[in-house]
């Protein structure tokens, strides 16, 4: 539902009181910019890289609160986003969002947070659905990120938002051009804020031709640097993965790729011999807890921080975007 626009005063020296600059053009930045623009703000996104070269473009991306804190807030952010994705799944060709069934291996409902009880239909997997052992069956949004990112940019443009590709040396640079800055810079926050608590968690994926896989599958030990997952995206399947703390390399490791394919084929035998089409590497912007708060700058102006989502940026994007937009509105009112 479109909200009533905010009301602000006239422009002063070319800068209007309803101006907002969003720093970061991944899924968090674009989603936040959309919520702001559709509420009546004049929004510009400053991004160093086009959306197709951000970490978001590399993501799997299955809706699931994966390695993200604080748990008390993540549940609400995730469920709010789930509602949006279920609506977007009615137009999968445009939005890149489908609702697909699958199994989380080695997972039980009792081991999850309170949010899990509000996800429709989740249940214990049968032995036919997950022969290796205990699992949790669910129908969840699975997102084709290149398609979804293009759709997000189109929706932002339709709301009057503008994306500018430019490097940002510091948040003060953006604050000099708008009264409110929303910092969605992900791993870039390590230098821009600066916030040394932000660190990379390297993820490597393999893209193979789809031999007919229709359901997703994961087997994740949250203490391991080698989670296993199979995400079908129409004519390809995304195989994963890795979760390497403090690793910065964006170069695919052939040995790691071979191990990924081997683990995935052991869980999903139809993948054995699937043709490898490509490799992806991304650096998840991890932090001990998401930073979503407003900060008043000493020289004037306001920054709303919205970063540190790790591997669950897609999962919480809309919930965090709405909270960030509310903080931005309160700051400028």
* Length of the chain, in residues: 333
| 182: nearest Cα among 34, 10, 78, 284 | 34
d(CA 89, CA 214): 16
Q: Is the model's pLDDT at 160 over the cut of 60? A: yes
Number of domain units in the chain: 1
* pLDDT of amino acid 298: 85
Q: Which of 115-129, 134-148, 210-224 has the lowest mean pLDDT?
A: 210-224
- 310 is known to lie in a ligand binding site: yes
For residues 182 and 324, the answer to whether their CB atoms sit within 8 Å is yes
- 22 is known to lie in a ligand binding site: no
Q: 119 in a domain, yes or no?
A: no
C-alpha 15 chain-centroid distance: 31
d(CA 13, CA 129): 63
Q: 24 in a domain, yes or no?
A: yes
pLDDT band at 223 (very low <50, low <70, confident <90, very high): low
* pLDDT of amino acid 114: 92
Q: 229 in a domain, yes or no?
A: no
d(CA 276, CA 247): 24
Q: Which of 4-13, 101-110, 283-292 has the lowest mean pLDDT?
A: 4-13
Identify the burial level of 12 via C-beta atoms within 10 angstroms of its C-beta, where 0-12 means exposed, 13-18 middle and 19 or more buried.
Answer: exposed
d(CA 253, CA 250): 9
DSSP three-state, residue 276? strand
* pLDDT of amino acid 2: 37
For residues 58 and 280, the answer to whether their CB atoms sit within 8 Å is yes
Q: 230 in a domain, yes or no?
A: no
- 284 is known to lie in a ligand binding site: yes
Q: 216 in a domain, yes or no?
A: no
- 314 is known to lie in a ligand binding site: yes
Planar angle of CA 244, 275, 106, nearest 5 degrees: 45
Give per-residue pLDDT as tens, 303-319: 999 999 999 999 999 99
Q: What is the CATH number of the domain that holds 22?
A: 3.40.50.720
Q: Strands 236-240, 97-105: parallel, antiparallel or unpaired by DSSP?
A: unpaired
* pLDDT of amino acid 330: 52
Question: What is the residue-wise DSSP string for 188-209?
Answer: GHHHHS--TT-EEEEEEEEEEE
d(CA 54, CA 24): 9
- 228 is known to lie in a ligand binding site: no
Pairwise pLDDT comparison (279 vs 330), residue with the higher score: 279
Q: Is the model's pLDDT at 11 over the cut of 60? A: no
- 166 is known to lie in a ligand binding site: no
Q: 312 in a domain, yes or no?
A: yes
pLDDT band at 220 (very low <50, low <70, confident <90, very high): confident
- 236 is known to lie in a ligand binding site: no
Q: 161 in a domain, yes or no?
A: yes
Print the domain residue range for 166.
Answer: 1-99+141-197+288-333
**H-only helix segments in the chain:** 27-38, 71-88, 92-95, 145-158, 171-175, 189-192, 254-267, 313-332
- 31 is known to lie in a ligand binding site: no
- 160 is known to lie in a ligand binding site: no
Q: 121 in a domain, yes or no?
A: no
Q: State what percent of residues in the chain have pLDDT above 90.
A: 85
- 47 is known to lie in a ligand binding site: no
- 286 is known to lie in a ligand binding site: no
13-19 mean pLDDT? 76
pLDDT band at 58 (very low <50, low <70, confident <90, very high): very high
């Amino acid at each position: 539902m479109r909200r009533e626009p905010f009301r602000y005063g006239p422009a002063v020296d070319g800068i209007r009181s309803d101006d907002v600059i969003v720093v970061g053009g991944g899924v968090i930045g674009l989603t936040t910019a959309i919520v702001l623009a559709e509420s009546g703000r004049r929004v510009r996104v400053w991004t160093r890289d086009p959306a197709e070269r951000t970490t978001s473009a590399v993501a799997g991306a299955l809706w699931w609160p994966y390695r993200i804190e604080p748990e008390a807030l993540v549940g609400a952010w995730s469920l709010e986003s789930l509602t949006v994705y279920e609506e977007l799944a009615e137009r999968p060709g445009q939005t890149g969002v489908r609702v697909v069934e699958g199994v989380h291996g080695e997972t039980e409902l009792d081991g999850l947070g309170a949010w899990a009880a509000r996800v429709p239909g989740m249940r214990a997997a049968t032995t036919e659905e997950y022969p290796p052992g205990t699992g949790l069956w669910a129908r969840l949004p699975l997102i084709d990120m290149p398609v979804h990112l293009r759709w997000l940019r189109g929706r932002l443009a339709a709301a009057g938002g503008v994306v500018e590709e430019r490097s940002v040396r510091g948040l003060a640079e953006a604050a000099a051009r708008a009264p409110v800055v929303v910092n969605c810079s992900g791993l870039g926050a390590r230098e821009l804020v600066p916030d040394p608590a932000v660190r990379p968690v390297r993820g490597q994926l393999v893209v193979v031709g789809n031999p007919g896989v229709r359901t997703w599958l994961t087997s994740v030990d949250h203490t391991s640097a080698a989670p296993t997952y199979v995400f079908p995206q129409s004519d390809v399947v995304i195989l994963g993965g890795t979760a390497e703390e403090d690793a910065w390399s964006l170069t695919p490791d052939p040995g790691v790729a071979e191990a990924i394919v081997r683990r995935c084929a052991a869980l999903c035998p139809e993948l054995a011999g699937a043709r490898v089409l490509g490799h992806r590497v991304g650096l998840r912007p991890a932090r001990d807890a998401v930073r979503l708060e407003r900060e008043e700058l000493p020289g004037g102006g306001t920054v709303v921080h919205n970063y540190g989502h790790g591997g669950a940026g897609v999962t919480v994007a809309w919930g965090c975007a709405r909270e960030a937009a509310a903080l931005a509105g309160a700051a400028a009112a």
